[in-house]
Chains A and B, each alone.
With several copies, the nearest count.
Chain A
Amino acid sequence: MSIIEDNKFEASVKGTLITEIPEDLFIPPDALRIILEEFEGPLDLLLYLIKKQNIDIMDIPILPITEQYVEYIKMMESMKFELASDYLVMASTLAEIKSRMLIPHDDEDDEEEDPRASLVRRLLEYQKYKNLSTEIDTISRVDRDTFLASGIIIHFKKKDIEPTIEISQLEEIFKDVLKRADILASHEIHSEPLSVRERMSNILESLTNSEPISFIKFFDVTEGRMGVVVTFLAILELVKDNLVEILQNEPQSIIYLQLKQS
């Protein structure tokens, strides 16, 4: 346990008394920035603070750790970090534990859990995966420790490598529609460039509360080649943004679009 005295703190760490904020809090701003950027979140920062002082994780001196924690997030804020709200949530968790620790504790009441227990579990859990992630980083992997060997086939007949999966057909259809658009192009009066964004909205709108709609229905050949390209790019954007998905039951069958199921 620890107590607070004026603006200093005392922490008993395995019998050793620490009475001031460790010097390595005062490091050059650039280096500090790099250290702060390295933290993967509040749990990572807490583990760092605990490790730095060689504290037993099962018996964390909440008061000094909380103060240091708050100190660090203040530094992060002063360095204009976009501080994730997770850091602030942890600060209030620590404050809550701190106040629960201050409530006189009845020694005979064994049923009450140590207010720190849940935090310790989270720290241990996170630490486990943090360690595994450094371990997995050392496993022999492709493009670092071993490399894939390959040769090029140049005599492959074009026909054989013609793509067979839906997106490719999507492009085949696209080509098709472009051709038809060409035929109708003479009817086209030069219009202002169509906006892909606008088209995205239109497609999303028609898919909302609707059954899946056939891909081809979105192409209006009277808009000419430009309109077709805009529609195509809009669909790609929507797929990319995970707003819309492409459905096809089997190769060569009709392609449908539908809203991405959340």
Chain B
Amino acid sequence: MSNSESNKNIIEAALFASHDPLTLQDLANLFDDKKISKNKIREIIDELNKEYNNRAFEISLVASGYRIQIREGYDQWLSKLNNMPSNRYSKAFLETLVIIAYRQPVTRGDIESIRGVSVNPNIIRGLLEREWIKIVGHKETPGKPELLATTKKFLDYFNLKNLSDLPVIKDEESV
């Protein structure tokens, strides 16, 4: 396709479109043929952040990489939105959670094959945001999918001391 998209815009598109933070390596991988150095990418990110000076968002660096964040001060306004993320638990949300709890560590693919429908990325994101689940590693299969598991916060939420406090489910009737 066209090459009219600048490297800067490609990085911008990736950061805004990605559901998870992106590392410099993730961003460098977008340009496999062009070989752009991580330093160059860091420069581009700085440049973008300067351009976002008057915007309500910025690129920020967190533990797992770069992501787009709404600047401080807007939360008071946004709390009026009634469709803010995670203001309800759907059936799909609870089912996904239950599968992660019982089958951990699991990949998205595992969840898909148990539920028979593809996993909504917003659900995983919502669970991660709530810190009920975390990424505990990567499966050694093609694509190295992330392995998901529940957290202590999840147990706290349900007043459980440890996972074995969850009801025992026999294999034939597993979740």
Give me the interface of A with B, judged by CB distance under 8 Å: 38, 40-44, 47, 50-51, 55-57, 84, 86, 90, 122, 124-137, 139-157, 160-165, 167-168, 171, 174-175, 178-179, 182, 193-197, 225-226, 229-230, 233, 236-237, 239-240, 262
Contact = CB atoms under 8 A, between A and B. Distances in A.
B167 A136 contact: yes
Interface string B90-107: 111111011101100000
Interface stretch (B3-11, B29-37, B40-48, B81-89): B81-89
A26 B57 CA distance: 52
B69 A142 contact: yes
A44 B84 CA distance: 32
A56 B118 CA distance: 28
B140 interface: no
The dominant DSSP class at the A interface is helix
A167 B67 contact: no
Contact of B85 (A50, A86, A143, A262): A143
Contact of B70 (A135, A147, A229, A233): A147
Given A148-B67, A149-B70, A161-B85, A156 B75 contact: yes
Nearest to A152: B69
Which 6 pairs from chain A and chain B are nearest by CB? A41-B117, A149-B16, A165-B88, A147-B17, A43-B116, A133-B94
Contacts of B86: 161, 163
Contacts of B72: 140, 145-146, 155
Interface string B137-162: 00000011000000000001111100
Interface of B: 13, 16-17, 19, 57, 67-75, 78-79, 84-95, 97-99, 101-102, 114-118, 129, 143-144, 156-160, 165-171, 173-175
A47 B17 CA distance: 41
Q: Which of B159, B171, B174 has the most CB of A within 10 A?
A: B159
A90 B116 CA distance: 9
A166 B68 CA distance: 29
Contacts of B117: 40-43, 84, 86
10 contacts: A42-B116, A133-B94, A136-B94, A148-B68, A148-B70, A151-B57, A171-B89, A174-B158, A236-B98, A240-B95
A192 to B, nearest CB: 9
Given A122-B116, A139-B159, A151 B95 contact: no
A151 B66 CA distance: 11
Q: Which of A43, A86, A130, A145 has the most CB of B within 10 A?
A: A145
A262 B108 CA distance: 13
Given A136-B166, A179-B159, A129 B99 contact: yes
B103 to A, nearest CB: 8
Contacts of A171: 89
A225 B68 contact: no
A62 B98 CA distance: 29
Nearest to B85: A143
Contact of A40 (B91, B129, B143, B171): B91
Contact of B78 (A153, A195, A240): A153
A135 B99 CA distance: 13
Nearest to A192: B168
Contact of B157 (A86, A127, A175, A225): A175
A54 B164 CA distance: 33
